[in-house]
A = this chain, B = another copy of it.
Amino acid sequence: MVDVKSGANPLFLTDEELRQGIELLFYAYRDFTSDPDSILRQFGFGRAHHRTIHFIGRNPGISVAELLGILRITKQSLSRVLSQLIERGFVIQRQGTRDRRQRLLHLTPEGIELEERVSAPQRARVARAYREAGGAAVEGYRKVLLGLINEQDRHGVLKSIKDE
Q: Which A positions have Cβ atoms within 8 angstroms of B?
A: 1-2, 4, 7-9, 11, 13, 15-32, 34, 51, 54, 58, 72, 116, 119-120, 122-150, 153, 157-158, 160
Q: Residue on B with the closest CB to A5?
A: B131
User: Measured between C-beta atoms, what is the minimum distance from A30 to chain B in Å?
Assistant: 6
Given contacts A8-B132, A20-B142, A27-B153, 15 further A-B contacts (CB under 8 A): A7-B128, A20-B157, A20-B160, A21-B130, A21-B138, A22-B32, A22-B122, A30-B72, A31-B149, A31-B150, A130-B147, A133-B143, A133-B144, A137-B143, A140-B140
- Cα A19 to Cα B15 in complex, Å, equals 31
Q: A21-B126, A136-B136 are in contact. Are A145 and B28 (CB under 8 A)?
A: yes
Q: In whole angstroms, what is the CA distance A98 to B12 when docked?
A: 39
For chain A, what secondary structure do more than half of its interface residues adopt (helix, strand, loop), or is it mixed? helix
Q: A20-B160, A136-B136 are in contact. Are A145 and B9 (CB under 8 A)?
A: no
Which B residue's beta carbon lies closest to that of A158?
B20
Given contacts A7-B131, A133-B147, contact A126 B160 (CB under 8 A): no
The CA-CA distance from A137 to B24 in the complex, in Å, is 15
- Given A22-B119, A32-B148, A138-B11, are A27 and B157 also a contact pair (CB < 8 Å)? yes
